Structure 1
Amino acid sequence: MSALGMAVVGCGYWGPNLVRNIVACPQTRLVRACDVDAARLAEVLAPYPGVQACTELAEVLADEQVTAVAIATPVATHHALARECLLAGRHVLVEKPMAATVAQAEDLVALARERSLRLMCDHVFCYAPVVRVMKDIIDAGSLGDVLYFDSVRINLGLFQRDVNVIWDLAPHDLSILEYLTGRQPVAVSVQAARHAGWEQENMAYVALDFDNGFLAHLHLNWLSPVKIRKTIIGGSERMLVWNDLDPAERLKVYDKGVTIQPRPDRAARDTALVSYRTGGVTSPHVPHGEALAGVVAEFAAAVAEKRAPLTDGASGARMLRILEAAQQSVARGGARVPVAGEGA
């Protein structure tokens, strides 16, 4: 397929990574980069003299070589920028979360559908090689029935001014959870706090309820003295541990489990027989590769093949329904809040 002409709008924190990967991808060609800070833009584009710099989105959309736009700006600007690009007939890749509200996300989804354009959310971890390996393990049934998802994503982190720690970090784990299990929560409850004089919540414990006994829990924190990126997925047969900070053995599968066998001759619960199985531990091979490179390649393929990308606009809208319910739970002191369905 011919290279997809692209522009990057926003060259602050994440934009330079998009610039680098779009330039490196054989299926894409970076035509322009746009940022309101001309000095920052010049710094980012210094290694790429063939890319045109501009400070106005209008310049991007006036360039007929630009077929698609990647947006990496503050969350509050996503909807307006993405909408303008879609109205101008451009395919759109937008950083997570896709918009500031569910209504905004649904508006973008409807507009992209109406104009037969690709709308993709940069749920980057869905394209990480280690997550792809985890998906293969789960789909093969190696874990048995998947029972729970437990994630810790903490460090003395970058304090965001436009969103709190839930909106900043939870999208990573929520997108991974949906990709791996295909499940959607029915309710969410959140305990969160603001510390260090910050106006946004900077630590949170997010509990997700599902309608089949499956549970998920996310620990999110910008105030931890140590950096931890660990996910445990428990199954009826085996359990999987992903430690993203252990390059030698990033992924481990434990052949461990519990079987509870009630004794038919005794009614009391304390007479049940609990059997523990402790087997070996394996560390599956995880191929090298940058997740964002997978995002860019998938976006280009979706445009060329005229199909929905893996993490399309609808998946971005589903995530926002969870985030809005989570924020309502915070406002209500940790109350359990139902997650709204599509069109609610």
Structure 2
Amino acid sequence: MELKVGKVNQTMELLPISVVGLGGWGKNVVRSFSQTRRAKLCVLCDENEEVIARQAVLYPYAATTTQYSEILAESNIHAVALVTPSPSHFNLAVQALNAGKHVFVEKPLSLTVGDAKELVALAEKKQRVVMVGHLLEYHPAVNLLKSLIQTGELGDIHYIYSHRLNLGVVRLEENALWSLAPHDISVVLYLLGKEPTHVTAVGQSYLNPGVEDVVFLNLRFGEEHMAQIHVSWLDPHKERKVVIVGSKRMAVFDDMHPSEKVRIFDKSANVKIGTANYVESITVRHGEIRSLIVPNQEPLLSETQHFVDCVLDGKTPRSDAHDGLRVVKILDAATRSLHQNGMPVEIL
């Protein structure tokens, strides 16, 4: 079958794109690219014809196919968005890059460090944009936290912790670490602007042997910072929270709160130098709690807009292939720590 994809008027500066994988999260990515400025949604691709049919009703102007090879062969498609199962990310991305396409790929970039490094090198060789769907890096609340750190509003950052918890959805093959933690790992790296030196991870499988339902991941950033990430689909609470503790103030991003998503706690604890009595040397301060205004921007639309802008304007994405590699390196080290009962593993 030959795809009927119209030629793009280059003077309009549109990015012709195909979305591959339309089930689950994929339908949201399709919707977002259909609303993204300077993007032209050209082709919808999925192995399941019923899934394609449901999306084709919503986007009748887009061509459809069950064959990824047809998209690769179509010269009028300049970019692909891969919203497919994690094990397929590497092979599909390699094929797209070798076909000269720019690539938006959902997290994680790949399942091994070696594959992630290969994608970084191939993207640079082909001079194509590879952007990983680290969605929370484009959340306005996370960007607000980043500005609080950069302006010194919180003081020196001591530590960060995050919770990503719920009862379900239970995965049968991908554990909670690989399924849920990439979001929080990418946020921690983005906020601190550095990579950890060591990780430790402990978890447990309760529902399906060998597939951890709950994981506690600890990141050490030398002697200065640390972070803990708690992920689980076996928890009574639905919680999406990031807490930053600084020397001056503390900040909380609670994504489940209906209105006050980011709050600053004017609280701190400090040591008074030169005091003989240890108890008297510790001063604890309790101040006001402020709720900050978070811009009303959909993270997914900001993410897809960023991808299109980077491709058309020749810029490097915030969550580029290097960012994807950093996250995969941590996931890989955490997996090894899990298998060694929480032994520290160095990030190489």
TM-score (norm 2): 0.94
Letter in 1 for 2:345: V
**1:337 maps to 2:345:** yes
The equivalent residue for 2:7 is none
Deviation at 1:282, TM superposition (A): 1.0
Equivalent residue number for residue 324 of structure 2: 316
Aligned to 1:138: 149
Report the counterpart of residue 328 of structure 1 in structure 2: 336
Q: Is the 8 A contact 2:198 2:220 kept in 1?
A: yes
Q: 1:187 & 1:46 partners in 2: Cα distance? A: 49
Partner residue of 2:3?
Answer: none
**One of 311, 319, 332 as aligned partner of 1:303:** 311
Q: Does 1:206 align with 2:217?
A: yes
Distance 1:102 1:209 in 2: 19
Q: Equivalent residue for 2:128?
A: 117
- Contact kept? 1:75, 1:162, Cα under 8 Å: no
Once the two structures are superposed, the pairs formed by residues 1-344 of structure 1 within 5 Å of their partners are 2-264=13-275, 266=276, 270-340=278-348
- Displacement of 1:159 in angstroms is 2.1
CA distance in structure 2 between the aligned counterparts of 1:44 and 1:137, rounded to whole angstroms: 41
Shift of 1:262: 4.3
Q: Output the CA distance in 2 between the equivalents of 1:197 and 1:72.
A: 25
Whole-angstrom distance in 2 between the partners of 1:122 and 1:216 = 22
Report the AA paired with residue 276 of structure 1. V
Query: Structure 1 residue runs of 4+, over 3 Å off?
Result: none
Pairwise CA RMSD: 1.3
Cα displacement (A) at 1:45? 2.6
How far apart, in 2, do the equivalents of 1:14 and 1:33 lie? 14
TM-score (norm 1): 0.95
Q: Is the 8 A contact 1:255 1:281 kept in 2?
A: yes
Question: Relative to structure 2, which stretch is displaced further, 151-160 or 326-335?
Answer: 151-160
State the Cα distance separating 1:303 from its structure 2 match: 0.6
In structure 1, C-alpha distance between the alignment counterparts of 2:163 and 2:177, rounded to whole Å: 12
Q: Distance in 1 between matches of 2:223 and 2:27?
A: 42
CA distance in 2, matches of 1:97, 1:160: 16
One-letter code aligned to 1:23: S
- The answer on whether the counterparts of 2:162 and 2:243 sit within 8 Å (CA) in structure 1 is yes
Query: Between Structure 1 and Structure 2, how many residues are aligned?
Result: 337
Letter in 1 for 2:203: A
Report the CA distance between 1:97 and its aligned residue. Answer: 0.4
Alpha-carbon distance, 1:272 to partner: 5.0
Which residue of 1 is the match for residue 6 of structure 2?
none
Q: Which runs of 5+ in 1 are unaligned?
A: none
Contact 2:56 2:62 in 1 (8 A): yes
Cα distance in structure 2, aligned partners of 1:16 and 1:198: 31
Identity across the alignment (%): 35
Whether the 8 Å contact between 2:172 and 2:208 is mirrored in structure 1 is: no
Return the alpha-carbon distance in structure 1 between the equivalents of residues 143 and 279 of structure 2: 42
Taking the aligned partners of 1:235 and 1:40, their CA distance within structure 2 comes to 47
Distance in 2 (CA, whole Å) between partners of 1:17 and 1:2 is 24
Query: How far off its partner does 1:162 sit?
Result: 3.8
Tell me which amino acid in the other structure corresponds to 1:304. Answer: L
SS in 1 for 2:189: helix
Unaligned runs of 5+ in 2: 1-11
Cα drift, residue 65 of structure 1: 2.1
Q: Does the Cα contact within 8 Å between 2:271 and 2:281 map onto a contact in 1? A: yes
Cα distance in structure 2, aligned partners of 1:271 and 1:202: 42
CA distance in 2 between partners of 1:70 and 1:3 (Å): 15
